[in-house]
Amino acid sequence: MIDPFVIVAPFLLLLIVGLLQFVGCNAILGLNEDVTLAEPDTISSKQDAVATVETVNSNNVSAQFRYPVGDRHLIIVWLFYDSAVEQVQQITDNATNTYLLAIGPTTGSGQLSGLRQEIWYAADVDGTPPAPDTRINVTATFTATFSSRKAIVIHDYEGALRVSPLDQSAANVGTTTAADVVARTDARMVRKAELVFAAAVFHGTFGTPGEGFGERSMPEDNLSEDRLASKDDVIGATFNTQPNTDWVAQMVTFHPQDAGQSPTA
């Protein structure tokens, strides 16, 4: 005896195929052509940092990314320079993005009393400079010309909130006998996958990333690092250094892209 399902199955298959052609796959799956799928809600590094360190008589310093930067990315700029008087006046690039000061200038103490550090950022960037350029070049301009060391370090991230992504910031200076350098904010909960970015300058020695952090750049034995904060984290940044030394440390955090926020927001 022939199984009835064997007879009916081909007709059911034809019926399903016809329905998909008539209605459309998107309608069957509950999607429309104008629906924008949510973006990932985590932040990731797309390019390791690029650093330029100069000791020339000038009022600016520049660095260029090795590869093109994607549209709507986040650029973080870390600067340190040997002047306790001057500071960064503005940051520009060849794609006319807008850069904002996240924290600083923070002036060091002890052997670093003549050094300052700052962190800037540009959100929702236009990653396409005018032709013939294909890569973004970032320039920091200072309030005056001086001949001491100037360093700029640029970082490219994807997945940050494109409108007002900066959440928290903190800075600290000191000399430690232990292997920890800490810049810590108030004990606050953070969003899941929030980016914690930190940078520090050390006198006469080098630093290594703190627990849970990954190294992002190491210009002249100084260090930038990052990690993603979990939902229940209290934000802090730690660097390890031996022996004890003077240091300047800063940290900033950025919200991830909101699920469902339109890419044109």
Distance of CA 262 to the CA centre of its chain: 20
Give the H or E element holding residue 50: strand 44-55
Task: Verify that 56 and 181 share a domain, yes or no.
Answer: yes
Q: Is residue 36 part of a domain?
A: no
Task: Verify that 127 and 167 share a domain, yes or no.
Answer: yes
Please identify which residue in the block is written with the tokens 């970082």. Answer: 155
pLDDT, position 11: 53
Model confidence, pTM: 0.81
Pull the structure tokens for residue 189: 């909960």
Task: Verify that 109 and 212 share a domain, yes or no.
Answer: yes
Q: Is residue 39 part of a domain?
A: no
Domain ranges, residue 24: 1-30
**Rounded distance, CA 150 to CA 131, Å?**
29
Instruction: Tell me how crowded residue 46 is: count the other CB atoms within 10 A of its CB.
Output: 17
Instruction: Tell me how crowded residue 188 is: count the other CB atoms within 10 A of its CB.
Output: 11
For the chain, the farthest-separated pair of C-alpha atoms sits apart, in whole angstroms, at: 97
Task: Verify that 80 and 1 share a domain, yes or no.
Answer: no
Q: Is residue 261 part of a domain?
A: no
- In whole angstroms, how far apart are CA 215 and each of 61, 109, 128, 208, 249? 23, 25, 27, 8, 15
Task: Verify that 77 and 204 share a domain, yes or no.
Answer: yes
Q: Is residue 38 part of a domain?
A: no
Q: Is residue 260 part of a domain?
A: no
Task: Verify that 77 and 167 share a domain, yes or no.
Answer: yes
Task: Verify that 219 and 158 share a domain, yes or no.
Answer: yes
Where would I find the H helices in the chain?
A: 4-23, 25-28
CB-count burial class (<10 Å; 0-12, 13-18, 19+) for 178:
exposed
The answer to whether 81 and 149 are in contact (CB under 8 A) is yes
Q: Is residue 265 part of a domain?
A: no
Strands laid side by side in the 214-217 sheet: 166-175, 246-254, 194-202, 223-229, 214-217
DSSP assignment letter at 166:
E
Please identify every stretch of the chain with a pLDDT value under 50, giving residue numbers as ranges: 5, 17, 19-38, 177-179, 181, 183-187, 259-265
The answer to whether 120 and 172 are in contact (CB under 8 A) is no
pLDDT, position 117: 97
Task: Verify that 175 and 234 share a domain, yes or no.
Answer: yes
3-state SS, residue 47: strand
Task: Verify that 9 and 135 share a domain, yes or no.
Answer: no
Q: Is residue 248 part of a domain?
A: yes
DSSP assignment letter at 112:
G
Task: Verify that 21 and 48 share a domain, yes or no.
Answer: no
DSSP assignment letter at 69:
P
* Bridge partners (DSSP) listed for residue 140: 61, 91
pLDDT, position 265: 39
pLDDT, position 211: 85
The answer to whether 77 and 166 are in contact (CB under 8 A) is no
The answer to whether 137 and 94 are in contact (CB under 8 A) is yes
The answer to whether 72 and 39 are in contact (CB under 8 A) is no
* Domains held by the chain: number: 2
Q: Is residue 109 part of a domain?
A: yes
Task: Verify that 15 and 53 share a domain, yes or no.
Answer: no
Task: Verify that 250 and 131 share a domain, yes or no.
Answer: yes
Helices then strands, counting H and E runs in the chain, come out as 2, 16
